Amino acid sequence: MDNPAYQTYMDLLSSEGFDSSITYVPNDVSFGWVDDPQAVSATLDTFPIRNFTDTEAYGYAEEELPDHCYLWDFAKMVTGDNLPPRNQGQVGSCVAFGCCSAIEYTMCVEIGQGQAEEFKPLVQEIVYGGSRVEIGQGRLGRGDGSIGAWGADFVRKYGILNRGTFLNGKYNLEKYSESVCRQWGATGVPNDLEPLVKEHPVKYTTQVSDWKSAKKALVQGYGISVASNQGFTTSRNSFGICRPSGTWNHQMAIIGYATIEKEEYGFILNSWGTYMGTSNIGPGEPSPAGFYAHWSVIEKMLKQGDSFCYSAVEGFPLRKLRWRI
């Protein structure tokens, strides 16, 4: 283990009788992240900005970082509440859900800062199929799953689509469909939908590979998709925290952080609905679809190299947001 803080944290959990080898996961959900460092590296070679440390936004002064940052405050400002919990169901489409969640919260920040747009939820089926076929060229075969970098590359090269009905009713995408998700995961985005998707590209994505970068990205309003094989317990403690446990080959989203008992924790948004219930959600009144995790655990996840933040503007400019909303 190359992270002393993480090891100290795990030692503490072990002293409480916690068994980190056990995998805790509901029976009716799927994973779906494929760990392929070579594919990630090849994809990153095509990115205009390879890593967040190469952006202007990384220059945000560490001493000016607040002790908490909640992107969902902007979601509440724009929509009146947290965004509804998402549920990928029994399809291994987590890469699309994590990617779309990070973008949705980035969109809320931009709208909350005055961008003249209306918020609409995104179609995960598009990103899932596009990542596997348009970007991955079907190399993953018939099974479920995708690679985080492929999802990021798809929304950059192609784009995103909001939920709705399209092409005179030919495609009803008002609600998430497991069957459509699995079908497009095999065949890709329908050709006649691609022009609509390309009207809404996410102009820049870049890799986030450490906790300091994650904090700087979040405080400037850039949501993060995080892919790793780190698992967690499926119940939150009284502070909204889940402890690391076992293995999840899974992608989720990081949409905020807080200081709890003098330690930093990131808020991770999952795509399994409200599987942990609606209580003990933690500081800032976040979505019941997520949980807080210790910063050292998140850094370990980020260092696996397949996590990204998203910008719908030109590049990643250094910016100071209006957080008192």
Q: Which structural domain, as residue segments, surrounds residue 224?
A: 4-311
pLDDT in tens, 153-187: 999 999 999 999 999 999 999 999 999 999 999 99
pLDDT at 23: 54
Q: Is residue 255 part of a domain?
A: yes
pLDDT of 12 > 60? The answer is no
Read off the pLDDT of residues 205-259 as tens digits, 9 standing for 90 and up: 999 999 999 999 999 999 999 999 999 999 999 999 999 998 999 999 999 999 9
9 pLDDT more than 90: no
Is 325 part of any domain?
A: no
Look at residue 115 in the predicted model and tell me its pLDDT: 81
pLDDT tens by residue, 253-296: 999 999 999 999 999 999 999 999 999 999 999 999 999 999 99
Please indicate, yes or no, if residue 319 is contained in any of the structural domains. no
CATH number at residue 279: 3.90.70.10
Predicted confidence (pLDDT) at residue 11 exceeds the cutoff of 80: no
Residue 320 included in any domain: no
Q: Which residue has the tokens 């009146």?
A: 80
Secondary structure tally for the chain: helices H, strands E = 10, 9
Task: Give the position of tokens 């698992």.
Answer: 231
pLDDT of residue 5: 55
Q: In 16-93, where does DSSP find H-type helix?
A: 37-44, 72-79
Q: Which residue has the higher pLDDT, 71 or 30?
A: 71
- The per-residue pLDDT for 1 is 41
pLDDT, position 105? 96
Alpha helix positions (H), the chain:
4-15, 37-44, 72-79, 94-112, 124-129, 148-157, 178-187, 194-197, 211-219, 295-302
The verdict on residue 321 lying in a domain is: no
Q: Is the pLDDT of residue 323 over 90?
A: no
Q: Given pLDDT bands bounded at 50, 70 and 90, which one contains residue 118?
A: confident
CA distances from 152 to 3, 97, 99 (A): 27, 12, 7
CA atoms lying within 13 Å on the CB side of residue 86: 29
Tokens of 58: 């990384």
pLDDT at 80 over 80: yes
Is 15 a residue whose pLDDT tops 50? no
Mean pLDDT for 21-45 is 82
Residue whose pair of structure tokens reads 């799953």 in the numeric block: 145
Range scoring the smallest mean pLDDT among 29-33, 34-38, 163-167: 29-33
Residue 324 reports pLDDT greater than 50: no
Instruction: Grade residue 314 by pLDDT with cuts at 50, 70 and 90.
Output: very low
315 or 61: which carries more pLDDT confidence? 61
> Is 162 among the domain residues?
yes
Cα dist from 92 to 34, 187, 271, 311, whole Å: 10, 15, 11, 25
The mean pLDDT of the chain is 90
Q: d(Cα 174, Cα 236) in Å, to the nearest integer?
A: 32
CA–CA gap between residue 75 and residue 251 (Å, rounded): 21
* Interacting residues of 141 by C-beta distance below 8 A, sequence separation 6+: none
Length of the chain counted residue by residue: 325
Residue-level pLDDT at 17: 47
Asked whether residue 18 carries a pLDDT value surpassing 70, the answer given is no
Within-domain flag for 214: yes
Count of domains forming the chain? 1
Average pLDDT over residues 79-84: 96
For residues 173 and 179, give the distance between their C-alpha atoms in angstroms, rounded to a whole number.
12
pLDDT of residue 313: 46
Judging by beta carbons within 10 Å of its beta carbon (0-12, 13-18, 19+), is residue 265 exposed, middle or buried? buried
Higher pLDDT, 283 or 316: 283
